[in-house]
Amino acid sequence: MKGAFQIAKIAGIPVKLHWSFVLMLVWVTIEGRRNGMNWESVGWFAVLMVGVFTCVILHEFGHAFSAKRYGVRTKDIILSPLGGVARLDGLPEKPIDESVVAFAGPLVNIFLAVIFGGYGWMTSSIDFSNLGTSRLVFGNPENFVTLFLLINIFLALFNLIPAFPMDGGRIFRSLLSPSLGRRRATLVTTYLGQGMAILLVILAYLFVPPRMTFYLIPLFLLSSVFMFFMATQEYRMVKFEEILKKHSISELIRQPINVLQKNDHIAHAIDILKRGLERDFLVKNEDGTIAGVFSQPEILEVAKSIPTDSHEDHGVEEFISLVKDVAHPNDSLHVFYKKLVHQELRILPVFENENLVGVVDIQQLNDFLRVEYEMK
C-alpha cells in the first residue's frame, strides 16, 4: 500500500502505518481542543486510540499466525484509519482451512474481551453507567477497561458479519462452497457485501444525530465505498483464480529477447530497458547457468540511486534477485503465480529436464488474464 511506512517488525512480519493514521491523530487533537477538552484529556484519548489500533494489530496477527500453519506467508500488516489488513501471499485451498484463518482474527478480539472482562470483574472497574455518553469516551483512564471490553466485543462481532470484506464473509463463503462451488459462493457473498455497504449508508443517514453528521457521514460513506469495492474485487479475484488453475505455463512460454550477463554494467541494463522490448530480464553466469533476475523496478531504483556517470562502474551482479524456485511447463498458471508472489519476482525461468526452455513474466500473465477475463 502506497504511503505506508514500517514502524516495527514482529515475528518477521513488517508492521506498517499509513500516513493518514497520523493525520487522524492530529484531527483528534484539534477537535478535542475545539470541544473544550484539556490537554490531559486529549492525551488520554490519543492513548485510547493507540490502544484500539493495537487490538486491531493483534487481530491481524491472529490471521497471520494461523495462515502460517497452512504454509501461507504474510507480507506485512498495514494499519490505517479504516482498520488493519494482513497482506497474505494467498489463502489455503480447502474451505475449512480458509475459515480457520478468517476466524482467527475475531477469536483474538474475543480472547482480549475475556481478559478485560475478567480483569474488570475481579477489580470491579467495569462501569456501564456512562454508556452512550461522552463521559465514557472523554473521561478518565479508569474507563479504559470498560472501553476495551466493549471495543473488542464490537471488533469481533463486526468482523463476523457474513459479507465481504469482513472475516465473516470468508467464513460464510467457506460454508457455501461445498454445495455451490467457490465461484458461486463468492458471488452470493459479494452481493451480500454490496448490500451491506448500501445499508450502512442508509442507516447512517437515518440514525446519525444531526450534530454528528458533519463528522460521521463522510466516515460511513468512505467505509461503505470501501466495502462495496472490496466485495467486487473479491469476486474478480476468484474468477482470475479459476482461469489460472485451468491453464498451464506451457501456453505462455517464450524465448527471452535479451539476457543479461552478471558482469554487465548497469548502464547496459538501462539501455536495454529504454528500448522497451522487455521489462524483466534473466541474468546468466559465465557458464550459462541462471544467476538470477533483474526487473524494471529494481533497474529504475538503481538508476536513481547511483549517479549517471557511475553506472558503468557497477555490475548487474550487485543488484540481481535470486531465483529459489523455477517454473516447469506442466505447472498451472496458479502455481506459477504463487511462485512469483512467494519469491517477490516478476519473471521466472522455465526448466524441463534441467534444461532452460524459456521464460514467463508478470506482464504476459496480466495480458493473458485480461483477455481471458473479458471473454468469459
The residues carrying an active-site annotation are 60
Count CA atoms closer than 13 A to 100's CA, side-chain side. Answer: 13
E-only strand ranges, the chain: 4-10, 13-18, 74-80, 83-88, 259-261, 280-284, 290-295, 347-352, 355-361
Q: Which residue has the cell 529436464?
A: 353
Whether 106 contacts 161, CB under 8 Å: no
Chain Cα centroid distance, residue 226 = 14
Q: Are strands 13-18 and 280-284 parallel, antiparallel or unpaired?
A: unpaired
Phi, then psi, of 278 in degrees rounded to 5: -140, 160
Q: Which residue has the cell 465505498?
A: 225
Whether 81 contacts 53, CB under 8 Å: no
Q: Are strands 290-295 and 13-18 parallel, antiparallel or unpaired?
A: unpaired
User: What is the amino acid identity at position 272?
Assistant: I
Secondary structure in 3-state letters for 143-176 = HHHHHHHHHHHHHHHHHCCCCCCCHHHHHHHHHH
Cell numbers given for 206: 437515518
Q: Which residues fall within 8 angstroms of residue 113, CB to CB, at 6 or more apart? A: 149, 152, 153, 156
**CA angle, corner 284, sides to 281 and 289, nearest 5?**
130
> What is the CB neighbour count within 10 angstroms for residue 321?
16
Element (H, E) at 177: helix 167-180
- In angstroms, the CA 337 to CA 360 distance is 10
- How far lies 96's CA from each of 70, 93, 231, in Å? 11, 9, 20
Cell numbers given for 203: 442507516
Q: Are strands 83-88 and 280-284 parallel, antiparallel or unpaired?
A: unpaired
